[in-house]
A and B are shown apart, each in its own frame.
Chain A
């Protein structure tokens, strides 16, 4: 079972975000890391391979520092990494992103399963897995909170508010996993040392046969036209319990459709 895990290098959610004049993220202004939601995909891939056989390749695209996301995945235990690095990529939206990742997966070749997180923690679009599946001609099975692979198929459980679905697809397939699927491991000391010896390939768009005219800010179908800081939190509402506390609390939740 050869698995490709798509991982994204994102700005640390703990840090303050800054934007360039074109509303793309100012990557210099904030430290980045492997998107926490992608750690679940890496963990799931490692569990599948550890229980059977095969190889886990982590794939990322992004600026030079995005190599950090690949490295962290290798430290967790992935076997090899691919980093698509090209100045022309900057500003790519999800459509352009899916094009680049799809071509990279084709170039990696011999892939049984493509795993992704449920969304990036910065863009939070959740659409790349579907686009990838379309481009690769693979079934898409998204938001898996449980995953089993056997005999050429993958079966997942998808939890909705009212019910859970069991969905099966033939392999190769693209599967996105939620943060409920597992508990990602920390790298170990040995993992850190072993990662230094694992192969990482860096490819440019030319290596993938992707026309620069189809990617980047200029080629993107969507555009961010404005960014604004979230307004500071307003003071909460204090309810003094004079016998009606429970009722007031229930009303508060009902008003916000939380109950």
Chain B
């Protein structure tokens, strides 16, 4: 059965020290200014956070086994201090690095991975479009071959890490033709930052995740050489599906970081804050909510790391993809809903102060909602789980 080892715990401690020292002191200001801290990324790289799952050849850790569990621990611990920084790592690894690592040619890997793994650069992955989210097959962005170049036209929405000062490349999915049975052929194409015709729109105004870099992208006769195709032509959608399970487990880890922090905040505050001459924690109306929160944190953590362990075991050929898919959906559904509940409980325990930006629970309240949406909504997770149970699909 799975367990977190001494090595895992030491690594957790390292990330916790880093997050406490390098992120916590600045996070209020970054959040208020919607500032993406570019300088923090190489520091995360020096710790090795972007390469926990990658081979040494390109500067990764060369972890023989269990690399994904380490990544989840890092996301949880960063997310415990700030959710935006957690998603920056999650997307940087899961959407930026992993597709290149899994499907790139040797030349593509050598060109991009060393800087990405060192945190000197970030990469994005563009699948979602203004009118195509979970129904990715409805994508409208097109790419046609013309004189040895792909010419891309269309737009992408909500693309993380796509517009930072150090973004080196964004991989986008596009229709490149039709399959024999009349379905759209979707391929993934790498577009280096700064390519003519590739425009990064101004950052979104978001409810939360203010520190995270998110943009819409537009492509107008954007030309890249034919060899910028990532993996096989027509495999773009399949490739994306392979990243989905990892992404869901990673978001689940981010949610654990949120709920864990809310538990800590509530536990401390309810003993410091007095009302009617006693700490508010003596009221069971308060303490029982915190007890429930502790149960949710424990359950969410177990589901998350069970799924991460299954993923690592699947990589080693000992577990099936179907098992991972189900575990990922279960963990993501439970943990993210627990995280949202945790911020609701925390803001309630904090009373009026919970509504004030002076206290961290307000930021977590704003940041948590997206957890139930990104990488597949809660509803999509329930669909996946139902399918996994063998229930008939619509």
Contact = CB atoms under 8 A, between A and B. Distances in A.
Contacts of A209: none
Q: Is the interface of B mostly helix, strand, loop or mixed?
A: helix
B7 A186 contact: no
Interface string B1-32: 00000010011001001100100000000000
7 contacts: A75-B10, A186-B21, A187-B47, A189-B48, A189-B51, A189-B70, A193-B7
A73 to B, nearest CB: 14
Interface string A177-210: 0000000011111101100100000000000000
B61 A186 contact: no
Contacts of A187: 14, 47
Contact of A192 (B11, B21, B51): B11
Q: Which 10 A-B pairs have the closest CB atoms?
A: A189-B48, A188-B48, A186-B18, A188-B47, A189-B61, A192-B10, A187-B14, A190-B48, A186-B47, A192-B11
Given A190-B48, A192-B7, 16 more contacts: A75-B10, A75-B14, A186-B17, A186-B46, A186-B47, A188-B46, A188-B48, A189-B11, A189-B47, A189-B48, A189-B51, A189-B70, A190-B61, A192-B11, A192-B14, A193-B7
Contacts of B70: 189
Interface in A143-200: 185-190, 192-193, 196
Contacts of B255: none
B159 to A, nearest CB: 28
Contacts of A189: 11, 14, 47-49, 51-52, 61, 70
Chain B interface residue number, banded: 10 to 19
A186 B18 CA distance: 7
Nearest to B45: A188
Interface string B316-358: 0000000000000000000000000000000000000000000
B4 to A, nearest CB: 14
Most chain B CB inside 10 Å of its own CB: which residue of A189, A192, A193: A189
Contacts of A188: 46-48
Nearest to A195: B10
Interface of A: 75, 185-190, 192-193, 196
A187 B7 CA distance: 13
Contacts of B61: 189-190, 193
A12 B11 CA distance: 19
Nearest to A186: B18
Contacts of A75: 10, 14
Contacts of A192: 7, 10-11, 14
A224 B14 CA distance: 35
B68 to A, nearest CB: 13
A193 B48 CA distance: 11
A186 B70 CA distance: 17
B120 to A, nearest CB: 15
A38 B70 CA distance: 28
Nearest to A189: B48
A71 to B, nearest CB: 9
B14 A185 contact: no
A188 B17 CA distance: 12
A185 B18 CA distance: 10
A80 to B, nearest CB: 19
A196 B48 CA distance: 17
A14 B150 CA distance: 58
Contacts of B11: 189, 192
Contacts of A185: 46
A87 to B, nearest CB: 26
Contacts of B52: 189
A240 to B, nearest CB: 23
B34 to A, nearest CB: 27
A176 B175 CA distance: 65
B286 to A, nearest CB: 25
Contacts of B18: 186
A190 B48 CA distance: 7
B56 to A, nearest CB: 9
A189 B48 CA distance: 5
Nearest to B10: A192
Contacts of A190: 48, 61
Contacts of B46: 185-186, 188
A68 to B, nearest CB: 10
B168 to A, nearest CB: 22
A186 B74 CA distance: 14
Nearest to B18: A186
Nearest to B47: A188
Contacts of A196: 7
Nearest to B17: A186
A189 B15 CA distance: 9
A144 B70 CA distance: 38
B311 to A, nearest CB: 18
A99 to B, nearest CB: 33
Contacts of B7: 192-193, 196
B98 to A, nearest CB: 17
Interface string B23-65: 0000000000000000000000011110110000000010000
